[in-house]
Structure 1
């Protein structure tokens, strides 16, 4: 699950810098919550 969160964070940080931060923050938050539940 750490790999999933790491990949999601990398995508979020890269794309979030382009101004689409809100959408990717929401996506990352849901991925993180799913990873915590699945762990």
Structure 2
């Protein structure tokens, strides 16, 4: 499972409070996970 440094940096800077960070993390994960798990692409 490879992490994208850009998204991590984005996550750190965008989320001022933990709630915001968690919510943004959820969005990122829901977008990235299908890419990782799906055999195509």
Structure with larger RCO (C-alpha < 8 A, sep 6+):
1
More helix by share: 1
User: In terms of Rg, which structure is larger?
Assistant: 2
Normalising by structure 1, we get a TM-score of 0.47
